[in-house]
């Protein structure tokens, strides 16, 4: 490392101006003292003190600093990517070692160990989670290995053991290297990820090192990639060095049968007494012979339905469907169970499903300003919904509302009072001005929402202008946003999609998989979202389309467009043949509507979790928001075996870990479900007067045991296109023979300001004090 320093000035004023001011100040100072009755030495002394103070101030105005430039040589970066999917434990060829064992052996080999002396080695686990926010990786320098946070998260407790091993052993004498390499092969690493998105994760890691160019990527994987798109290795500019972890040949089939319950497809939220479909995939993991066995749908140990599935020889997957009609409200736990004869691995023969069952016949009151397209398609969608009872009214020129719900045609509109609104679960306001509601009616609507009702405001120019119903002061306490000067209904083609917060809502789960939504042609903007408001649907530039908030015990939402009805002509038809628009509106209303009015009235708290279904042993963050009074909050956890655990909830800033997109103050606690089944999570205030609960399903982890051989063609293509190397297992010792490691020289410039040093201020104060003391002494004050 070499270094040199340079004094640099960045003056506030030009040099010539500072010099001119110095001359002028010197002349005026001398002229001032020249008129005083002092001796010449006294005049010179005072003049010198004043000029010294001025020159010190002028020096400070130069803003001088020392710039130290250091040149140092940095080792090149090399990334070692280890596939941690469960398929790495497969051994379809019947080899003496699995792919995982060979990968661990190679990591402990002299070739990799010696690489750490010539390069900065970074290790990543390629599992299902590495793509999560790679920009926030924290590096732990364990020279010669540097292990990333993603790697530690992927390997869990076993990674800590591995890190301790590196700290303890690999820093010792190289003379014991072979002994240490043997110990490393014996270290247990967890290969439990349900899938590996190799192409997607390589792209993320390459982006992570964009400013620190990688010299090479060492990929230890079976190549069984589940990414939606394959990466073009030639575009990364990084050579891939890939060993063959499995010899070619014909798979060796074992006599042991292993069937498993695979993917399931079902709605996570349905209505009581509503027929619901569940699709199940049953997979053969091993064993080629034919098999016939029952597949059961169960609840509380009772078999609800049973289907017989028959596998032909070497057939890998069979799909079947169940139809059930839930009769009870609340979270309902179902179980899919299979009983294959001769299956020795029974842990994957069952899977639990959690379905939220809501009220039947939820009454909706819809008031519209004019019979527009939005009114037509919304009315059509809600009337077709057997569990929603719509009462629709349109305002006419004389100010009266006429019934248009086609079921109670001619009935007068109900009075908007506190008592009459108790008959409804939700209110929809269309394109109405503020004059549509009296002060008493607006107060009743606010009380309705605060007591647990739902309010949906549809887009419209009349409703969203300054004197519109949406932004009137009468409803300001419950609306998600307020009026902002200059807002207007913009026209164009606006691409929209769910925000991250919208995607985590189970109500929109099926819609989030829709892909691309038809563009909107209008958008009301700008608006001023409230402090407790979240955006669930937004345009490509971030402009909100759907805003919602919790208002008391209820919810309110705004759709900031009057062209959403065009979704009726776009998108794919879902279950029951319902179009995209109908599914969006009905699922939005089901989410806005409370499940049980009484429960919500007793639950001022909100319990938040990022996902209602997690794998066993996966850490869960439980959050709580709301007014909890004095004394804090605790979380009461009831396990599937009916044991209880009470955890204190600490004050924290909540965000993505509990499904929020914006930081919000609240409380949190962490726990790990160690049992399979349903957990009840209940947040309670210290005085016991406030509580809220939710349900969490802990399921057996799905492991990626495919029994398929490695994807040799994909791995060979990665190595060839990137200019790297693909070697057979017998030649693994020569894997890095063609690796070129060229150190780079870095120039680091550090800046140390000296103009603001404390010593300068001390000298300046001393000069002023000394001048003042001499002036007093010589009777000049």
Q: What's residue 338's pLDDT?
A: 93
What pairing do the DSSP bridges indicate for beta strands 362-368 and 350-358? unpaired
Ramachandran region, residue 532 (left: φ > 0; alpha: ψ -120 to 50; beta: rest): alpha
How many whole angstroms separate alpha carbon 648 and alpha carbon 282? 42
pTM listed for this prediction: 0.46
CB 556 within 8 A of CB 529: no
Q: What's residue 273's pLDDT?
A: 75
Please list, in sequence order, all residues whose beta carbon lies within 8 angstroms of the beta carbon of residue 41, skipping any fewer than 6 positions away: none
Per-residue pLDDT band for 150 (boundaries 50, 70, 90) equals: very low
Q: Which of 250, 247, 220, 216 is nearest to 233 (CA)?
A: 216
Helix-strand-coil split of the chain, %, nearest 5? 30, 35, 35
Tens digit of pLDDT for each residue in 279-338? Answer: 998 988 777 678 899 999 999 889 999 999 999 887 888 889 999 888 887 778 888 999
Q: Tokens 């971030």 correspond to what residue?
A: 542
Which letter, b or e, does each residue of 507-526 get, where b requires 16 or more Cβ atoms within 10 Å of its Cβ? bbebbeebeebbbbebbbbb
Tens digit of pLDDT for each residue in 93-135? Answer: 888 888 988 988 888 888 888 887 888 888 888 876 664 433 3
Q: What's residue 571's pLDDT?
A: 53
How many whole angstroms separate alpha carbon 435 and alpha carbon 438? 7
What is the mean predicted confidence (pLDDT) over 716-727?
90
Residue 519 has pLDDT above 50, yes or no: yes
Q: What's residue 264's pLDDT?
A: 85
Per-residue pLDDT band for 145 (boundaries 50, 70, 90) equals: very low
CB 294 within 8 A of CB 384: no
Q: How many residues does the chain have?
A: 781
What is the mean predicted confidence (pLDDT) over 84-101?
84
Q: What's residue 185's pLDDT?
A: 38
Q: What's residue 137's pLDDT?
A: 32
pLDDT over 90 percentage in the chain:
13
Residue 421 has pLDDT above 90, yes or no: no
Tens digit of pLDDT for each residue in 430-439? Answer: 888 888 888 8
More confident call, 766 vs 226:
766
How many whole angstroms separate alpha carbon 373 and alpha carbon 115? 68
Q: What's residue 598's pLDDT?
A: 36
Q: Which of 629, 555, 553, 549 is nearest to 598 (CA)?
A: 553
Q: Which of 20, 19, 10 is nearest to 61 (CA)?
A: 10
Tens digit of pLDDT for each residue in 379-399? Answer: 888 877 766 778 888 887 666
Q: Which of 428, 412, 453, 423 is nearest to 377 (CA)?
A: 428
Instruction: Point out which residues pair with 683 in neighbouring strands.
Output: 635, 692
More confident call, 551 vs 137:
551
Per-residue pLDDT band for 361 (boundaries 50, 70, 90) equals: low
Q: Tokens 């001393």 correspond to what residue?
A: 766
CB 507 within 8 A of CB 590: yes
């Amino acid at each position: 490392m070499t270094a040199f320093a340079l004094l640099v000035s960045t003056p506030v004023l030009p040099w010539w101006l500072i010099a001119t001011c110095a001359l002028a100040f010197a002349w005026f100072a001398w002229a001032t003292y020249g008129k005083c009755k002092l001796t010449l030495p006294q005049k010179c002394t005072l003049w010198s003190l004043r000029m010294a103070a001025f020159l010190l101030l002028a020096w400070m105005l130069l803003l001088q600093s020392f710039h130290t430039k250091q040149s140092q040589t940095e080792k090149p970066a090399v990334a070692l990517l280890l596939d941690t999917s469960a398929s790495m434990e497969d051994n379809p060829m019947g080899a003496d070692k699995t792919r995982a064992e060979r990968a661990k052996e190679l990591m402990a080999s002299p070739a990799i160990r010696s690489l750490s002396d010539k390069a900065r080695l970074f290790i990543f686990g390629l599992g299902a989670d590495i793509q999560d926010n790679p920009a926030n990786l924290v590096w732990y320098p364990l020279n010669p290995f540097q292990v990333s946070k993603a790697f530690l998260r992927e390997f869990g407790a076993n990674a800590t053991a591995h890190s301790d091993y590196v700290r303890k052993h690999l820093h010792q004498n190289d003379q014991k290297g072979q002994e240490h390499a043997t110990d490393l092969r014996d270290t247990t690493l967890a290969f439990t990820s349900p899938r590996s998105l190799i192409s997607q994760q390589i792209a993320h890691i390459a982006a992570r090192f964009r400013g620190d160019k990688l010299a090479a990527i060492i990929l230890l994987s079976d190549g069984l990639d589940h990414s939606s798109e394959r990466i073009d290795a030639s575009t990364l500019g990084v050579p891939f060095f890939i060993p063959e972890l499995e010899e070619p040949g014909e798979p060796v089939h074992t006599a042991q049968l292993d069937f498993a319950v695979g993917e399931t497809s079902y709605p996570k939220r349905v209505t009581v007494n509503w027929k619901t479909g569940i699709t199940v995939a049953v997979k053969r993991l091993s064993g080629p012979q034919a098999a016939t066995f029952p597949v059961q749908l169960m609840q509380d140990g009772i078999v609800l339905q049973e289907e017989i599935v028959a596998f032909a020889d070497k057939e890998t997957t069979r799909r079947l469907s169940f139809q059930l009609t839930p009769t009870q409200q609340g979270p309902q736990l179902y179980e899919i169970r299979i009983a294959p004869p001769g299956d020795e691995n029974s842990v994957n023969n069952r899977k639990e499903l959690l379905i939220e069952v809501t009220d039947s016949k939820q009454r909706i009151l819809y008031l519209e300003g004019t019979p527009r397209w939005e009114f037509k398609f919304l009315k059509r969608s809600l009337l077709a919904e057997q569990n929603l009872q719509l009462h629709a009214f349109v305002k006419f020129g004389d100010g009266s509302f006429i019934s248009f719900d086609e079921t109670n045609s001619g009935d007068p509109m109900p009075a908007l009072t506190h008592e009459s609104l108790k008959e409804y679960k939700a209110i929809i306001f269309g394109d109405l001005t503020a004059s549509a509601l009296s002060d008493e009616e607006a107060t009743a609507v606010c009380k309705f929402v605060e007591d647990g009702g739902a309010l949906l405001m549809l887009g419209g120019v009349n409703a969203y202008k300054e004197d519109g119903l949406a932004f009137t002061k009468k409803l300001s306490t419950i609306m998600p946003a307020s009026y902002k000067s200059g807002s207007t209904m913009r026209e164009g083609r606006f691409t929209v999609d769910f925000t991250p917060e919208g995607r985590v809502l189970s109500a929109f789960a099926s819609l989030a998989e829709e892909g691309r939504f038809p563009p909107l042609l209008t958008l009301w903007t700008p608006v001023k979202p409230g402090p407790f408001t979240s955006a669930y649907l937004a345009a490509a530039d971030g402009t909100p389309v759907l805003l919602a908030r919790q208002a008391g015990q209820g919810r309110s939402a705004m759709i900031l467009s009057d062209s959403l009805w065009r979704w009726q002509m776009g998108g794919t038809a879902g279950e029951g043949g319902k179009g995209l628009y109908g599914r969006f509106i009905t699922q939005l209303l089901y989410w806005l509507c409370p499940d049980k009015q009484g429960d919500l009235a007793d639950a001022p708290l909100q319990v938040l979790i990022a996902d209602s279904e997690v794998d066993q042993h996966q850490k869960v963050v439980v959050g709580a928001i709301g007014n909890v009074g004095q004394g804090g909050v605790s979380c009461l956890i009831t396990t599937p075996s009916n044991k209880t655990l009470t955890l204190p909830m600490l004050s924290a800033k909540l965000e993505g870990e509990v499904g929020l997109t914006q930081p919000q103050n609240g409380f949190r606690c962490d726990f790990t479900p160690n049992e399979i089944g349903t957990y009840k999570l209940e947040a309670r205030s210290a005085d016991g007067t406030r509580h809220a609960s939710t349900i969490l399903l802990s399921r057996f982890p799905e492991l990626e045991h495919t029994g398929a051989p490695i994807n040799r063609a994909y791995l060979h293509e990665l190595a060839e296109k990137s200019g790297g190397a693909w070697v057979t297992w017998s030649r693994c010792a020569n894997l890095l023979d063609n690796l070129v490691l060229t150190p780079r020289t870095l120039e680091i410039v550090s800046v140390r300001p000296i103009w603001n040093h404390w010593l300068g201020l001390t000298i300046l104060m001393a000069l002023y004090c000394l001048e003042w003391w001499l002036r007093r002494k010589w009777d000049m004050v």
